[in-house]
Chain A
Amino acid sequence: MKDPFNLIITGVGGQGNVLASQIIGRALVKKGYLITVGETYGLSQRGGAVSSHIRISSKDQYGPVVPQGMADVVLGLEPVESLRILATYGQPEVWCVVNSRPIYPIGVNAGDAVYPDLEVLKNTVAGLSKKLWWIPAADIAAEIGGFFMTNVIMLGALAATGSLPLNQDDYKAALKDIIPPKKLDINLTAFDRGLAEGRA
């Protein structure tokens, strides 16, 4: 693994960015890594873009913000947000794991702005990534119980890529630590579905 290894999770307020970063953080700490997680939310929880920067190292504790052009993996819970992140933090070797379901900015619904055609967007992100996983997480979520499962499905997909020094049991153990027991089963199902999709 490159050291430090930089993962950025991006999405829109309410998509469960912070929970995803907590689960990954916990799993990495259990493996003995020195990690720093920087969260950007605040006002942006009200419909704006949110992101978590996870710095992973076995030597040193890094700052909470990835320097520009130095992201190794982008986990995109929303498609255009993934491209927004690449514009500042991307580099030719970056791997992207992206949920294909848009959340339309209000300006798009209102006709003040345009959401790009999904095929064009997908090809653009692919052109900027070494590898791209385009995951229909929203369809899976709708099938198994609700859109709020998107983040855990995407974690499953991330696990499938093998980009982080974690195996699926590490992710699952962290899920168990963090998700309340009542909701654990459905979350494990979501994780497994994401894992299968990521491997497909």
Chain B
Amino acid sequence: MSIVALDEPGRTELLMGNEAIARGAIEAGVSFCAGYPGNPSSEIMETLAETAKQIGHYAEWSVNEKVALEAAAAASFAGVRAISSMKQNGVNVVADFLTNLSLSGTKGGLVLVTCDDPSGISSTNEEDARFIGRIGFVPVLEPSTPQDALEITKFAFDLSEELKSLVVVRSLTRVSHTRGLVRFGEIKKNKATPRFDTATSFHTFPVSFKHQIMREKLARAAEIFEDSPFNQYTGQDRPEVLIIVSGVSVLYAKEAISLMGLQDRVGLLRIGTTWPLPPKLVTAHLRSTDRILFLEEVDPYLETSVKAMSAQLGPELGLKHFYGKESGHIPSVGELSCDLVAEALHRIMDVPLPAVDRDYLDRAKKAADELVPVRELGFCPGCPHRASYWSIKNALKMDGRDGFVSGDIGCYTLGIFPTGFNQVKSVHCMGSGLGIACGYGKLGAQGFDQPVITVCGDSTFFHAGIPALINARYNQSNFVLLILDNSATAMTGFQPHPGTGMAAMGNPAGRVDPEVLCRALDLPVTVCDPYDLPGTTKTLYEAVKQGQEAQVIIMKRKCALVQNREGGFPYRLEVDQEKCRGLNCGCSRYCTRIFRCPGLIWDSSTKTARIDEAICVGCGVCADVCSHSAIIRRPKNVGQTA
């Protein structure tokens, strides 16, 4: 029984923002939930899947974000409430559907949650998904805390039904991955039975007419937002400086104001209804002062909206000083923090920074600079990707034509770093590795003679790889596709996907076998075990050499973390200290310097390699890397116990 599903109004729990969003949907009486994993959003759908049976809603991991929103829209068309969750990149994937959905309109409350990732803590980009509000003509709401996330999600369903429009809730890493106290409300009972009314229809025609309606809906949303409880002001009637803020930054601002003792001088207008902005509310506050500071994460969205509003009113409002990302008072990239807010106030108002012991910090920083080594990202010990990249590296070297790898999104993105021997030369979005390989594979006629390997994880292959592979088959592009089939969406927390035979709610599901799929395209397919370094290297080398048409090699090995959960690995490793010749060997520390599994460490006292028992999981792969056979693998149950 998940706490999130408890029907106990008034109960207070420490919930993660994402759990609170799920709770909000449950309280709103959601019937249908669909999403695609991506940090920092994954726990929303995980929680909805976990609570599905208790509550009686449906939840699925869809093959990609676009399909997820389309499926959720169907539930809305049939008159029930539906939610779709994703990270910022997913909003790009749904954009084509969404910009038409806002013309067709919706029926049952339909909410899209995007979790944006300032600083790209777990992302390949730092993108502001609020752009979709402008191009899609849909309202955008922004929670600041987990409690707020619950309330705003719940409200989003009502708003959607009132406007007959999709509503976007935009969360942030520091809302989604923050735990805070959340008070439960009532769970809506008596949900409607889904039924499509055939007297209605959902399409975009006549286009200009629907475009007009869409604009009217947005104007109506702005009116509703004039009195929204999600916009709050704290401070004097006429503050010296007005802060207009959305998202988690409201907490940073509050703390900075209190640390600097500026309660009587700075006013704080927190905006929860970011798009469209309620014009009366905003202009009333603009009239209260001449100096306005904007705090928001990623792009200056509020900032440009308010400035546009101010320009529109022009002489009536008078001259204003705007401070924010565009004036350089707030950094244009990266997360915000209390310290950055304090810094901005210090510059704008010429007031002292919060009291901290700067001498101490200088001393500590100096010590850290001197002593603390960089901790680079790397594959887990035992990760099959390390083994795959090892074979790729060796096969391309044997081939000798300066081949390279086109990659995309998943744990295997780390192939751009030394942990993947820097083999991957491009990374963009889901499935782009394959699409880009399609292009290289047709450059031969212009004299391009480098072999190209593209790597694609199993979940990514289903998400966006398949159309590109069909393109390759159709246009007869030449490359080698490695499907890194580790039976997991490992990067985002091991969600099931079409290849696993399991569905989100824990039930068995139809299994799609990438091998069968590729064979159906009439492409040559080989299945390899990445742990078999010599065998895989040979297969890869031959595939690269052949170079006539697209070929598929499926690297089949479970993600090491999944394997750890399912009983672990067979070996206990040891480096034979007699055989390991350390620095004198001529290998130049091949195992620790090049292979770089964190389970292998360099003992600077003996000048030999060693196994770190706290780290090594016992996959045994490194035993094949040492040319002196100094790394020895033995079955685990022999000798000491694990």
Q: Is A121 an interface residue when CB atoms closer than 8 A count as contact? A: yes
Q: Is B516 an interface residue when CB atoms closer than 8 A count as contact? A: no
Q: Is A128 an interface residue when CB atoms closer than 8 A count as contact? A: yes
Residues 334 to 390 of chain B near chain A (Cβ within 8 Å): 337-339, 342, 354, 356-358, 360-361, 363-365, 367-369, 371-380
**Interface with B: A56-64, A154-162, A165-173, A182-190, which one?**
A56-64
Contact B614–A68 (Cβ < 8 Å): no
Task: Tell me the smallest distance from the CB of A145 to a CB of chain B, in Å.
Answer: 10
Tell which of A38, A110, A142 touches B177, judged by Cβ atoms closer than 8 Å: A38
CA distance A135 to B339 in the complex (A): 32
Q: Is B207 an interface residue when CB atoms closer than 8 A count as contact? A: no
Which among B256, B373, B379, B601 has the greatest number of chain A C-beta atoms within 10 A? Answer: B373
CA distance A107 to B254 in the complex (A): 40
Task: Tell me the smallest distance from the CB of A78 to a CB of chain B, in Å.
Answer: 9
Q: Is A106 an interface residue when CB atoms closer than 8 A count as contact? A: yes
**Interface with A: B102-110, B193-201, B592-600, which one?**
B592-600
Tally of contact residues, B, Cβ under 8 A = 67
Task: Tell me the smallest distance from the CB of A88 to a CB of chain B, in Å.
Answer: 8
Contact A124–B374 (Cβ < 8 Å): no
CA distance A200 to B240 in the complex (A): 55
Q: Is A198 an interface residue when CB atoms closer than 8 A count as contact? A: no
A 37-75 to B, binary, CB cutoff 8 A, 1 in contact else 0: 111111110111100000000000111110111100000
CA distance A63 to B371 in the complex (A): 30
Contact A80–B372 (Cβ < 8 Å): yes
**Given A40-B121, A90-B364, A128-B367; A61-B373 close (CB under 8 Å):** no
Contact A103–B361 (Cβ < 8 Å): no
CA distance A96 to B549 in the complex (A): 60
Task: Tell me the smallest distance from the CB of A70 to a CB of chain B, in Å.
Answer: 7
Q: Is B575 an interface residue when CB atoms closer than 8 A count as contact? A: no
Q: Is B39 an interface residue when CB atoms closer than 8 A count as contact? A: yes
Please name all residues of chain A whose beta carbon is closer than 8 Å to the beta carbon of B592 when the two chains form the complex.
Answer: 109-111
CA distance A110 to B595 in the complex (A): 9
Bin the interface of chain A by size. 35 or more
Q: Considering only CB atoms, which chain A residue lies closest to B419 in the complex?
A: A106
B 524-564 to A, binary, CB cutoff 8 A, 1 in contact else 0: 00000000000000000000000000000000000000000
Contact A110–B596 (Cβ < 8 Å): yes
Q: Is A152 an interface residue when CB atoms closer than 8 A count as contact? A: no
CA distance A64 to B369 in the complex (A): 26
**Given A14-B380, A29-B181, A67-B259; A38-B174 close (CB under 8 Å):** yes
Contact A63–B248 (Cβ < 8 Å): yes
CA distance A124 to B364 in the complex (A): 9
Please name all residues of chain A whose beta carbon is closer than 8 Å to the beta carbon of B251 when the two chains form the complex.
Answer: 36, 61-64
Contact B364–A62 (Cβ < 8 Å): no
Q: Considering only CB atoms, which chain B residue lies closest to A38 in the complex?
A: B178
Please name all residues of chain A whose beta carbon is closer than 8 Å to the beta carbon of B378 when the two chains form the complex.
Answer: 46-47, 106
B 211-253 to A, binary, CB cutoff 8 A, 1 in contact else 0: 0000000000000000000000000000000000000100110
CA distance A90 to B367 in the complex (A): 12
Contact A61–B145 (Cβ < 8 Å): yes
Contact B181–A35 (Cβ < 8 Å): yes
Q: Considering only CB atoms, which chain B residue lies closest to A40 in the complex?
A: B121
Please name all residues of chain A whose beta carbon is closer than 8 Å to the beta carbon of B403 when the two chains form the complex.
Answer: none
Please name all residues of chain A whose beta carbon is closer than 8 Å to the beta carbon of B602 when the two chains form the complex.
Answer: 108-111
**Given A84-B368, A91-B357, A111-B593; A46-B363 close (CB under 8 Å):** no
Tell which of B177, B361, B379, B589 touches A87, judged by Cβ atoms closer than 8 Å: B361
Contact A68–B361 (Cβ < 8 Å): yes
CA distance A22 to B367 in the complex (A): 31
Q: Is A193 an interface residue when CB atoms closer than 8 A count as contact? A: no
Q: Is A8 an interface residue when CB atoms closer than 8 A count as contact? A: no
CA distance A177 to B290 in the complex (A): 53
Contact A25–B14 (Cβ < 8 Å): yes
Q: Is B407 an interface residue when CB atoms closer than 8 A count as contact? A: no
Contact B375–A116 (Cβ < 8 Å): no
Contact A64–B178 (Cβ < 8 Å): yes
Please name all residues of chain B whose beta carbon is closer than 8 Å to the beta carbon of A42 when the two chains form the complex.
Answer: 39-40, 117, 121-123, 173
10 A-B pairs closest in CB distance: A42-B122, A69-B356, A63-B251, A87-B368, A113-B373, A42-B121, A37-B179, A64-B178, A116-B371, A47-B378
20 A-B Cβ contacts within 8 A? A38-B177, A39-B179, A48-B375, A61-B181, A63-B338, A64-B251, A67-B256, A67-B342, A68-B339, A69-B361, A70-B356, A87-B365, A87-B368, A88-B361, A103-B598, A105-B374, A107-B375, A108-B602, A127-B367, A138-B614
Task: Name 16 extra pairs, CB < 8 A, besides A38-B178, A63-B251, A92-B357.
Answer: A22-B179, A29-B14, A36-B251, A41-B177, A48-B375, A48-B377, A61-B181, A64-B174, A65-B337, A67-B338, A87-B365, A91-B356, A105-B374, A109-B601, A110-B589, A111-B592
Query: Which residues of A does B touch, CB under 8 Å?
Result: 12, 14, 21-22, 25-26, 29, 34-44, 46-49, 61-65, 67-70, 80-81, 83-84, 86-88, 90-92, 101, 103-111, 113-116, 120-121, 124, 127-128, 138, 142, 147
